[in-house]
Chains A and B, each alone.
Chain A
Amino acid sequence: MILPLADVPAPVIDYRGLSPLMATLGGSVVVLMVGLVRSPFVRRVLVPALTAVSLLAAIGLTIWIWEPGDREPIIERAIAMDTLTLGVSMLFFVAGLVTVVLSFRSLAAREAGHGEYYSLLLGSITGMVVLAGAENLITLFVGLELLSIPLYVLCATELHRRTSLEAGLKYLVIGSVGSATLLYGLALIYGATGSTGFDGIQGAIGDTVGLADPLLLTGIALSATGLAFKASVAPFHQWTPDVYQGAPTPITTFMAVATKAAAFAVFLRLFDFALGLSQLDWAPALAALATATIVIGNVGAIAQRSMKRLLAWSSVAQAGYLLAGVVVGSELGLRATAFYLAVYLLMNVAAFAVVIARERVSEHGDDLASLELLGRTQPWLAWPMTIAMLSLAGFPATAGFIGKFFLIDASVSGDYTWLGIVIVVGSVVSLAYYLRVVAVMWMGRYEVELPAPPRRRVKPVAGWSPEGDVRAQPEVAAVAILFAAATIVFGIFPDPLFDAARDVGTALSNLH
């Protein structure tokens, strides 16, 4: 007898909805294969080009299937390709493109093998999309691992630099702890609600399982902890400065902007949607975490002189601001978080691009000293960095100001006025280090007090000799200038971003 295969209902696969995922996943395989060809032209030029094509295709497909409103999850309710997923996916794809451009001359891609490097990058992006769209605890975990494992490897791709290997290992160990904690939490939530699907969980809470159910609460606490590791929310942020500093800078850029967006997409979907009814239980705890993150991140950044560490601490602080949008559990909060994630991408990419451009030629590496008097010598790099710093600090006429305005608006509307004031106080503290970067670039060598440790002599990490023309990396400067310009443009005419954020806001129907 023929096995009753015919009776097994195969899930209906919505290929249209999955198309962006297939673009990146397919790209990942193709790039890996093409990378096996020996010709240097193929490896150095064709592989990145194919990666970029794959990402551009994904962007195009995302725009194609963009449709506001509460979309039904596809593939047996495993993943929702709604505007929340697609919105943050755009950020992943843009961050991926930027990483490709920034990696073009980097040592990391060469040492790890171009095919592998770019393939891992695309794999990680695929994981992020899955994670952001996960409507199911299992999908969530699969996405998280698909995101993380390539990143562990990518952090360690500068094989001959010890700190890079160290960063990879550290990230692996701490990331695994985070994943394990999250997995525990997910298991407990499943145990309490009897469902792995987010809508099932949402239906069960307050119905078959009480709000104060200890199993559920423990599950929520553990998952929050696990996600906090990924989003570098204090007190689970300790890996951030070390890994950011050790990883190849293009990968740091990618981690800083894309991983954060992915982690916050999950925060939004899991907490505001699936666990939305128990908001009263988790919101105060997350608000406390946000406060701690803002304080610790901003204070930690003050004493840094490595730009990568400084930006790492600043990213911790920014995670705190972002968390405020999750805490309030409203549509306004969702929109504000999405908006700020986009803004955060713009300003951080601009800053990291300048760091990359400088560390490749400067003997000070990514130390603050490498930026000294940049305003005189290379204004085309100093301006993007200045704009990025002012935007991160929340000065008006930059997108960062509007983003912060939006977040405070959401906090106050959600009866978390005090959290809005915490954001503001954090921003005041942050001036101390953002302005120092600006001062180093524009105001002269001897007047700026740098923190204590002596200047390290670091070998330039570039893939070519620093004696070469400092302008010989036009693509890095172009990225910096482009994203800094976007920071200003969206700071003055933010409406396109607001429109996108409004669409994203419609994705979770339970919010109001």
Chain B
Amino acid sequence: MTIHLSIVLFLPLATGLIGALLPARYARWAVLAGTVAVLAYAIVLLVDFDGSRAGLQYVTDDEWISELGIRYQLGIDGLNLFMVVLTAIAWVPCTLVACFREQDRPRLFFFNMGLAETAVLGAFMAQDLALFVVFFDLMLVPFYFLIGGWGTGDRVRATTKFVIYTMAGSLLMLAGAVALGVLSTPDGGHISFSLAVLQERSVSEGTQQWIVLLFALAFFVKAPLFPLHGWVPETYRSTPIVVLALLSGVLSKVGAYGFLRIVLPVMPEGSQHWQELFIIVAVFSILYGSVLAFSQDNVRLVVAYSSIAQLGFIVLGIFALEDKGAQGAVLQMLNHGLVVVPLFLIIGVITMRSGGSESLLRLGGMAVRAPVLAALFLLVTFATLAMPGSSNFVGELLVLFGTFEDKLVYGLVASLGVVLAGVYMIRVFQRTMHNRVAPAVEPREIGRIDLAAVAPLVAVIVALGAYPNFVVDRTEATTVRKIQPARAVAAEQARAPAHREVSAIR
């Protein structure tokens, strides 16, 4: 069966453009139809995907800018299959909820939603480094407008800060990408940014080191990881909730994905060189995020900081450079996206019931009058704190196993994060659902539209908890291959001192 990735990729943008030309009332439905179509396509992709093969499938490979060696190259393998699916799954409920809320300037809003989905899908599908950079930067444009145009509070400041932080990272990555392309070109060869080609060519270890650092800056800002998370509090506070669900659930994965797609396979020596540093950053993020999540008042910020901790786990898994760790990271990327989206949608419902207040101090007591809402929230909470039986549990366990093999101390410290996650998530649940009904809160059941948006996501979470191997089977082969070069370098490094001792004795 032929599946044209270009259609999936540009469908949301096309429907956004169509919506922009329609009367304002219909714009939303055009974009919603687009996201649903993408989801349908993604499901077909999932069914059709051959999980036993490790290479790229459904490849689209065309000349784009031959002068610069940039190709329009898309493809799906085990690494990005579930990222594409996650994007498709996440966009539908968020667009649905947005459709039923009154929007100022709806055409522009939904156009930006469509553009954002195209950009994110593009970043996940791109198999050419320059194309990846294009989509990676393009993601910022719709989010800049969505936050600045429809946010709350000090939104312009927040969105500017967000864009400058992220753009600083991604422009440095652009310089790194160009340098990688140019410096890896053999004499007389034609420059190429295709990842497959870059993987065969190589640049010197010293060059790899600084290029990896530029990439890491971009990805750490995007993720976000401590200490590059400065944009997080303001942005999370100001972003409209449906946009925030996408920002936190899907966008944050692009950074972690970039490590596995680009950094580790293309620059193994450079990655190995910084392994220790990146692990420390990851562990710090876990601790910092967990502790701050525990001390926040604002519900959104609890989830924001918990995201920092979760992304710390994912990066830890990746840079453990062990099969299990990377496998866990990939699984966790999907899991985190799947729980954060309903989490934010539920928070949206809760704040609507509380007259807009997002402070934990002014919430409470909704469970009695809204049992369905409470039940859904409880399931999502359990998944977030990685309760045994959830897929998140499997993911975190794999990450920790991978870390224990070689980096036992870091693994032990990181385990603290698992414990703390239980504390702060239960705290959120209790403060919003249990206790006395807060004065401003009007405990009503979840509405039909919100239910229609959240319930399927919860169903997916539960299903995945029952059968996480569905994901693992399809991703394993690719993931292992992606970290293999860096692993080999690390193994060699471990052997090297032994050699030296032997020769010294001789």
Residues of A within 8 A of B (CB): 375-376, 390, 393-397, 401-402, 404-406, 408-409, 412-413, 417, 420-421, 423-425, 427-428, 431-432, 435-436, 438-439, 442-444, 447-449, 494-495, 498, 501-502
Contacts and interface: CB of A to CB of B under 8 A. Distances in A.
Interface centre among B137, B141, B156, B167 (most CB of A within 10 A): B156
Contact of B179 (A417, A438, A444): A417
Given A390-B141, A395-B138, A442-B148, A408 B174 contact: yes
A390 B141 CA distance: 9
B134 A397 contact: yes
Contacts of A417: 175, 179
B134 A396 contact: yes
B138 A397 contact: yes
A140 to B, nearest CB: 30
Contact of B148 (A396, A406, A443): A443
Given A402-B65, A408-B174, A495-B65, A395 B141 contact: yes
Nearest to A335: B67
Interface stretch (B51-59, B157-165, B365-373): B157-165
B145 interface: yes
A502 B149 CA distance: 42
A432 B164 contact: yes
Interface string B172-199: 1011001101110000000100000000
Nearest to B145: A442
Nearest to B214: A421
B130 interface: yes
A442 B145 CA distance: 8
Contacts of B144: 435, 438
A424 B179 contact: no
B174 A443 contact: no
Given A417-B179, A435-B163, A502 B67 contact: yes
Interface centre among B105, B130, B135, B175 (most CB of A within 10 A): B175
A449 B137 contact: no
A443 B149 CA distance: 5
A424 B134 contact: no
Contact of A428 (B134, B171, B183): B171
Interface in B424-438: none
Interface string B131-149: 0011101101100110011
B168 interface: yes
Given A409-B182, A447-B156, A396 B167 contact: no
Given A397-B138, A428-B167, A431-B164, A408 B157 contact: no
A427 B171 contact: yes
A405 to B, nearest CB: 6
B163 A431 contact: yes
A421 B172 contact: yes
A505 to B, nearest CB: 10
Given A412-B183, A431-B163, A405 B174 contact: yes
B245 to A, nearest CB: 21
A420 B179 contact: yes
Contact of A408 (B141, B160, B175, B191): B175
Contact of A413 (B141, B172, B182): B182
Contacts of B160: 431-432, 435-436, 439
Interface in B23-58: none
B163 A412 contact: no
B163 A498 contact: no
A447 B155 contact: yes
Contacts of B179: 412, 417, 420
Contacts of A423: 175
Interface centre among A427, A447, A495 (most CB of B within 10 A): A447
Interface string B295-333: 000000000000000000000000000000000000000
Contacts of B413: none
B416 interface: no
Nearest to B130: A405
A420 B178 contact: yes
Nearest to B134: A396
Nearest to B137: A396
B68 interface: yes
A3 to B, nearest CB: 57
Interface of B: 65-68, 105, 108, 130, 133-135, 137-138, 140-141, 144-145, 148-149, 154-157, 159-160, 163-164, 167-168, 171-172, 174-175, 178-179, 181-183, 191
A289 to B, nearest CB: 20
Nearest to B136: A396
Contacts of B155: 443, 447
A77 B68 CA distance: 35
A501 B181 CA distance: 21
B171 A406 contact: no
Contact of A431 (B108, B130, B167, B182): B167
Given A405-B130, A447-B156, A449-B157, A428 B135 contact: no
Interface centre among B68, B133, B181 (most CB of A within 10 A): B68
B168 A428 contact: yes
Contacts of B164: 428, 431-432, 435
B174 A424 contact: yes
A383 to B, nearest CB: 10
Contacts of B156: 439, 443-444, 447-449
A190 to B, nearest CB: 38
B168 A405 contact: no
Given A428-B167, A498-B66, 4 more contacts: A423-B175, A424-B174, A425-B172, A439-B148
A491 to B, nearest CB: 10
B396 to A, nearest CB: 35
Contacts of B154: 447
29 contacts: A375-B108, A390-B141, A396-B134, A397-B138, A401-B137, A405-B130, A406-B68, A417-B175, A423-B175, A424-B172, A427-B171, A428-B164, A428-B168, A428-B171, A431-B164, A435-B144, A435-B160, A435-B163, A436-B160, A439-B160, A443-B156, A447-B154, A447-B156, A447-B157, A448-B156, A449-B156, A494-B67, A495-B67, A498-B65
Given A435-B160, A439-B160, A405 B68 contact: yes
Contact of B67 (A395, A401, A498): A498
B118 to A, nearest CB: 10
B172 to A, nearest CB: 6
Nearest to A406: B68
A299 B156 CA distance: 21
B172 A395 contact: no
Nearest to B181: A409
A267 B147 CA distance: 43
A110 to B, nearest CB: 39
Contacts of A394: 171
Interface centre among B66, B133, B179 (most CB of A within 10 A): B179
Contacts of B149: 442-443
Given A431-B164, A431-B167, A449-B157, A409 B68 contact: yes
Contacts of A390: 141
Contact of A395 (B65, B137, B175, B191): B137
Contacts of B191: 409
